[in-house]
Amino acid sequence: MAGSATARLARKAASRLGLARPAGVLLAITLASAPVAAEDVPDRPDYVGSEACVECHEGEWEDWTGSHHDLAWTETSEGVLADFDDTAFSHRGITSRFTREGETLFIESDGPDGAMTRWPVAGVIGIEPLQQYFVETEPGRFQTFDIPWDTERNEWFHMYAEQHLPASDAFHWTGPYKTWNNRCAECHATDYQRNFDPQEGRYSSTMSEIGVGCEACHGPGATHIAWANDGPGEAWPPEGLGATGLTIDFTSADIETEIQQCAACHSRRGPLEGGSPLPGTPLHDAYRLSTLRAPLYHPDGQILDEVYVYGSFLQSKMYEKGVTCSDCHDVHSATHYNEGNGICMSCHSPAGNPEFPTLRLAEYDSPEHHFHEQGSEGAQCVSCHMIERVYMGVDGRHDHSFRVPRPDLSVATGAPNACTDCHAAEGPFWAQAELEKRFPDSAYRGPHFATAFAAIRGGDIGARDELIEIALSDQPGIVRATALELLAPVAEPVHADQLAPLLLDLDPLVRANAVPVQRQALPEMMVERLLPLLTDDRRVVRNAAAREMLAAPVANLSEQHRGALSSAMGEWQQTLAVTTDFPETQLILGGIALTTRNLQGAMASFREAVRIDPQMTQAWSMLARLEAAAGRPEAAREVLQAAIAANPDAAELQVLLDQLP
């Protein structure tokens, strides 16, 4: 919850919960909590580095060496592909220069104040089709530079060439959304911890190994090595470890463990911890997965923004039938097992695959199925079933929902389709007619959640009944969770009753998104329904329940329930505390401070939000409203003038200014 919404929902909670009200930016509130005692947490094995694995796992080591995982982050002394021999690149009036002095590489460009500044290159990101670099703009803070090297064309290019991103913009390369420490590094390192000090505003980030090493996926290896060398000791295995002394075990019987471990990086999500979770941590204990919301996904769930595969894969028949990442990808070399249509034909062929006995056995790699010249681009499985979109300027990535093209949904919702990706001139009406002619009995027609999602996105609350039907259906969990998220702002009390069973759904993403719908229930009924979720087995659900209970009548709770509430509230506080360098967290903290009638804390958090991100208009608006409500119209005017200077196109800020006396 943010801003006025938080205040509206939770205004009466402060006295009921007995919340303390300290001022300050770190946390606008202090919640009672029941922290876990250190002695109750099993000792974690030490990280030992990937080189310790070579002796026993030479084949895997050779596959991994030089892979995209291995080279996700390297030192400047290794494998720099760009030309730093006094080259230059100009973009929107700024000429950046790339030079070297001995072994040290330098980038000169516009800094956070707009002035041309020269920095030594601090690190190298990736290997192909682009290689990016980052610099240390202040002690401990690293920023990713927006002009990387195109490894195929061998030239510098701007990743956001169509955007005007001056130094005053939060999306400028020196802004908060390009900070390596909190937006990128976790997925390019092993055992990475952000270690942000909110009082000093500084990072002292650490990692066990740069690059995605063996232990990034398999967990810390010290105990495993001891087991391999000396055999199991007494009382084996130690608490929290598997039979081989690792925190995670990948077995064919537990495919979800593998998928969630990959998803920790290959998904669009918000962190619940201060760095890399221990391998084996369930995804919903470490992250808040994004739903199919705009502007991340098209209404039909196709990828739109950079969403990193997992959210689309959850929608697929592949996921439903038990396909895992390693069925198609070699996890050590990070390559496919086959090339071209051969990847798909290993299962989708007349021979099939005995591991997936429900597959229809048919010849798909033929013109009778794809209606294109054999071997042509149109005859590739991915051209129709895994559309490609380009991110970071040159990096093409495939949608992993493995969908059948639906030109009819393009007509109804504006979502793209694979047919008109190539046949743009013919258009979606032509494409739909062709599909109907060629596949007259196709099951891939008829109602689709896309129409309801598009309608509610467009403000049509008449789509609520469809959203309820979707939420209660047997569709993929991420689809049902999205329906719940879209419904929550426009729900009515009857909807809270209808959807209460979803608080017990098997999917944590559904449970977490069912929680906000209960705002519309009678307060006592909301409490009754949400109390069990305070001890849910997934942190993302506990956080969601604690968030809503902030507005609940809890004076007469039993001692057991008071303990559960206190623990869940404390855990939610910890989630916020480790992300205070995110402007969106400061917005939430400001709203919570309003709930606890802590005006000073609210103002501090909203000011911190706009300091980090001057384009966060919600925080500017709240600052102005609070100044005006406190009887300081001139101060409110100054806030809005500063806000409009940073956001000249934000009409709502000008409206607020015009309304001041």
* 294-312 residue pLDDT tens: 999 999 999 999 999 999 9
23: three-class secondary structure by DSSP: coil
Q: What is the pLDDT of residues 495-541, one digit of tens each?
A: 999 999 999 999 999 999 999 999 999 999 999 999 999 999 999 99
User: Which string of b and e fits 116-140 if b means at least 16 CB within 10 Å?
Assistant: eeebebbbbbbbebbbbbbbebeeb
Nearest to 117 by CA among 140, 97, 103, 142: 97
Rounded-to-integer distance, Cα 125 and Cα 587, Å: 31
Rounded-to-integer distance, Cα 20 and Cα 577, Å: 16
Q: Is the pLDDT of residue 12 over 70?
A: no
Rounded-to-integer distance, Cα 635 and Cα 163, Å: 33
Rounded-to-integer distance, Cα 213 and Cα 50, Å: 6
Q: What pLDDT band is residue 28 in, cutting at 50, 70 and 90?
A: very low
Give the per-residue pLDDT at 233. 85
Mean of the pLDDT values across residues 464-493?
A: 98
Q: What is the pLDDT of residues 396-422, one digit of tens each?
A: 999 999 999 999 999 999 999 999 999
**Residues in a beta bridge with 270:** 288
Give the per-residue pLDDT at 15. 25
Mean of the pLDDT values across residues 393-397?
A: 97
Q: What pLDDT band is residue 35 in, cutting at 50, 70 and 90?
A: very low
Q: Are 220 and 47 in contact (CB under 8 A)?
A: yes
The pair of three-digit structure tokens given for residue 481, joined into one six-digit string: 């969770």
Give the per-residue pLDDT at 42. 59
Rounded-to-integer distance, Cα 540 and Cα 271, Å: 10
- Let me know the angle formed at the C-alpha of 395 by 390 and 396, rounded to the nearest 5 degrees: 50
Rg of the chain in Å (alpha carbons): 26
Q: Are 105 and 131 in contact (CB under 8 A)?
A: no
Give the per-residue pLDDT at 252. 73
pTM summary value: 0.92
Rounded-to-integer distance, Cα 110 and Cα 7, Å: 40
Q: What is the pLDDT of residues 59-107, one digit of tens each?
A: 999 999 999 999 999 999 888 999 999 999 999 999 999 999 999 999 9
Q: Is the pLDDT of residue 651 over 50?
A: yes
Q: Which range, of 251-255, 460-464, 477-481, 652-656, averages the lowest pLDDT?
A: 251-255
The pair of three-digit structure tokens given for residue 90, joined into one six-digit string: 């100009």
Q: What is the pLDDT of residues 547-605, one digit of tens each?
A: 999 878 888 899 999 999 999 999 999 999 999 999 999 999 999 999 888 999 999 99
Nearest to 547 by CA among 149, 17, 160, 15: 17
Amino acid occupying residue 413: T
User: Beta 87-91 vs 94-101: how paired, if at all?
Assistant: antiparallel
Give the per-residue pLDDT at 517. 98
- Let me know the angle formed at the C-alpha of 514 by 510 and 520, rounded to the nearest 5 degrees: 170
Mean of the pLDDT values across residues 646-650?
A: 95
Strands (E), 162-256: 189-190, 196-197, 202-203, 209-210
Q: Are 165 and 176 in contact (CB under 8 A)?
A: no
Secondary structure tally for the chain: helices H, strands E: 29, 19
